[in-house]
């Protein structure tokens, strides 16, 4: 049903880009907390979500599987060759242990799964706006989100969500099970800490987890994904159609 709206993807994406330029330009940006900024922010995210949905539906279009621009040989090897799983293996182990240990400390310690007092203190420090210097949080919308969690006393269940999430990401990466999904949620958690003003190892975790997402097909080859992904319909040996093959020339495999 959404296929008929596919033609709107380009203009909607361009409008979203214009809105973002308006919000982020350093010369005449809308004032923080103003109606114009709030409306522009909402409009940008709505347009972005609509474009993502339409692009997701576009995968069903005839010829959508054709590769029009081939990537460099190195990236094809790292992200598509099962032998490159040996490259991702130590990265998986490192990131997996970081998340698993962090989750275990929260589960076995105090302040997290026994009420979330530690998380509440973290949120309260993050949302503070000092009279001098810069605030920990750069984006007002994220400060509002954390303030909403504080006002609704969400620290109890949210602490469990973070704890179990870190454990699940860590175990998934360590055993190589659904590595792409595990790494995605690892990126979400690392980004959440970064948005709250915490750096620590989060930039490194973010960068490495993004790499694991890109290499999801082979990053877990030396793990359970070697058996899980083929059962889910992700074989390692398959013909890939390119623009040349579609025109009758030899295909890239």
pLDDT digits (tens, 9 = 90+) for 167-206: 999 999 999 999 999 999 999 999 999 998 888 888 999 9
Q: Where are the domains of the chain?
A: 1-64, 72-236
H-helix or E-strand spanning residue 35: helix 35-58
In this prediction, residues 156-162 reach a mean pLDDT of 94
Percent above pLDDT 90 for the chain: 51
240 and 67 Cβ atoms separated by less than 8 Å:
yes
At residue 146, φ and ψ (nearest 5 deg) are: -65, -35
3-state secondary structure of 67: strand
- Sorted by sequence, the CB contacts under 8 Å of residue 162 that are 6+ apart come out as 103, 106, 112, 119, 189
List 242's β-bridge partners, or say none. Answer: 67
């Amino acid at each position: 049903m959404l296929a008929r709206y596919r033609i709107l993807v380009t203009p909607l994406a361009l409008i979203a880009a214009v809105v973002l330029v308006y919000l982020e330009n350093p010369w005449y940006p809308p004032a923080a907390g103003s109606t114009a900024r709030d409306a522009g922010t909402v409009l940008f995210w709505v347009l972005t979500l609509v474009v993502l949905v339409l692009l997701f539906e576009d995968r069903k279009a005839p010829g959508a599987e054709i590769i029009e621009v081939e990537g460099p040989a190195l990236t094809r090897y790292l992200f598509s060759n099962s032998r490159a799983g040996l490259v991702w293996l130590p990265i998986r182990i490192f990131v997996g242990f970081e998340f698993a240990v962090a989750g275990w400390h929260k589960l076995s310690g105090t302040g997290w799964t026994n009420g979330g007092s530690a998380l509440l203190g973290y949120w309260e420090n993050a949302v503070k706006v000092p009279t001098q210097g810069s605030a920990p949080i750069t984006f007002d919308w994220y400060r509002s989100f954390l303030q909403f969690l504080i006002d609704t006393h969400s620290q109890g269940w949210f602490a469990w969500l973070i704890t179990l999430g870190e454990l699940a990401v860590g175990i998934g990466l360590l055993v190589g099970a659904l590595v792409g999904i595990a790494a995605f949620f690892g990126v979400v958690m690392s980004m959440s800490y970064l948005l709250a003003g915490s750096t620590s190892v989060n930039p490194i975790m973010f960068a490495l987890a993004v790499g694991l997402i890109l290499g999801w097909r082979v990053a877990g080859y030396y793990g359970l994904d070697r058996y899980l992904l083929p059962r889910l319909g992700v074989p390692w040996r398959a013909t890939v159609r390119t623009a040349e093959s579609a025109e009758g020339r030899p295909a890239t495999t």
